[in-house]
Amino acid sequence: MNPSLDYRPLYNAFREIISVINSSIRLKDVMDLVVWKYSEVLGARGAIMRLLNIDTDELEISASYGISQAYLAKGPVSLHRTITDACRQKKVILIEDIVNDPRVQYPESAREEGYRFIIDVPLSVADNVVGIIRLFFSEIRRFSEAELDWIIAIAEQCSCALGKARLIDSYEFKYLQLATHAEKLSALGRMAAGIAHEINNPLAGILLYSSNMIKKVPPGEPIEEGLQIIIDETIRCRKIIQGLLDFSKGRDPRKEPTNINEIIDKSIKILENEFHIHRVNLRTHLASDMIDVMADGSQLEQVFVNLLINAVEAVPEGGTVEVISSVGESRTSITIEVKDNGPGIGKKERDKIFEPFFSTKSKGTGLGLAVSYGIIRNHHGEISLQSHPGKGTRFIITIPVSQDTDSGLAGISTQETP
């Protein structure tokens, strides 16, 4: 302990900052208070807090105290110059020669403002430097061990607040994304169900009359070919409508204890030829400790077939598709992944992929994933997607073992391949 140092201002400022961190949900309040208290207690002319913008790799001003607008208006500060190894080791950096130190990006302006000495205090979250607080002094001064400890302690508290705020932001963002997706798909589902009902009856009539007429036409008549086209196209429309209905409300699944590995094997058998024709390799890693889930086997087979066909269609000749099944740690859910090394899916497409009729294929109906989504929702499960252009695609399905509970937001989430 240094008997000549007055610890009270340090203690009071620390208490004040902790109290704001605990009581305020606004990160800005915490940041403003930190730059103010640093300046006040240490006798600095001013302070700037800069946080890292991961998109631009630059440090952007998020709070300041006692700094002129002219100095604040200086261009962005580069990450690499400012965040040095010492910074990464969470050390306070004292810059005495501000004119020649490469970490000071605008030395002349700093001199004009009357700054002669700078100290940098790193802010880190989970071992990554996420920002820096720079304090400006009009003269070089020495700090006691206690003061340096105090500076670090405040920075640690501030970093905690930053980490907490980022976590809340990411959850909020994820929730909003899910909610908007679920809301959009549910609205689309309602619309699709309405359209499907309206079209189903006239289609049934067209099919009935054309089938009756073709029976009465003598074979070889030119009209026979036209009627056959009407029948084929009507059947195709009926299939599309059925897909829409499956997406919108789904047929009630007939659930019974089901071994998913067996369903995966069946789906693969159905597509064996497709893999062969397209010269696509298939790898399976099926859980040896698989447990039964309450599920409608034939509906899930449809989901796996849809995902596998998409994967086969996506990969080039010689590409690889992998199917992996596993049991969750708590053994209350199972997970199935269908992974390919195809071209991947861009952000814009990822957002639309589960919508009915979204297709990038010339002959695709765009119903495969919409129907799969409907089926997984009816099993209270989640279907999610990780993909990035050029890095393949991975669909992940999670199904709860017991189906008594509703998972709320019939989950979908899409993200870039990590």
Binding residues for Mg ion, per CB under 5 A?
A: 310, 368
Which stretch in 30-38, 134-142, 286-294, 355-363 sits in contact with ligand ATP by CB under 6 A? 355-363
Minimum gap (Å) between residue 415 Cβ and Mg ion: 20
Q: Which is nearer to ligand ATP, 120 or 340 (CB)?
A: 340
Does residue 414 touch ligand ATP according to CB under 6 A?
no
Minimum gap (Å) between residue 319 Cβ and ligand ATP: 10
From candidates 192, 305, 353, 397, binder to ligand ATP by CB under 6 A: 353
From candidates 250, 368, 381, 400, binder to ligand ATP by CB under 6 A: 368
Q: Which is nearer to ligand ATP, 284 or 402 (CB)?
A: 284
Burial, 166: exposed, middle or buried (Cβ in 10 Å; 0-12, 13-18, 19+)? Answer: middle
| Whether 83 contacts 131, CB under 8 Å | no
Binds 381: which of ligand ATP, Mg ion, none (CB < 5-8 Å by kind): none
Q: Which is nearer to ligand ATP, 340 or 382 (CB)?
A: 340
Gap between the Cα atoms of 375 and 400, Å rounded: 13
From candidates 246, 301, 340, 382, binder to ligand ATP by CB under 6 A: 340
Q: Which is nearer to Mg ion, 151 or 345 (CB)?
A: 345
| Whether 365 contacts 240, CB under 8 Å | yes
Does residue 337 touch ligand ATP according to CB under 6 A?
no
Does residue 361 touch ligand ATP according to CB under 6 A?
yes
Residues binding ligand ATP: what is the number (CB under 6 A)?
21
Q: Which is nearer to ligand ATP, 58 or 313 (CB)?
A: 313
Minimum gap (Å) between residue 79 Cβ and Mg ion: 43
- x-or-dash pattern for ligand ATP, window 286-315, by CB under 6 A? --------------------x---xx--x-
From candidates 9, 163, 253, 366, binder to ligand ATP by CB under 6 A: 366
Does residue 342 touch ligand ATP according to CB under 6 A?
yes
Does residue 333 touch ligand ATP according to CB under 6 A?
no
Does residue 359 touch ligand ATP according to CB under 6 A?
yes
- List contacts with ligand ATP (CB under 6 A): 306, 310-311, 314, 340, 342, 345, 349, 353, 358-361, 364-370, 393
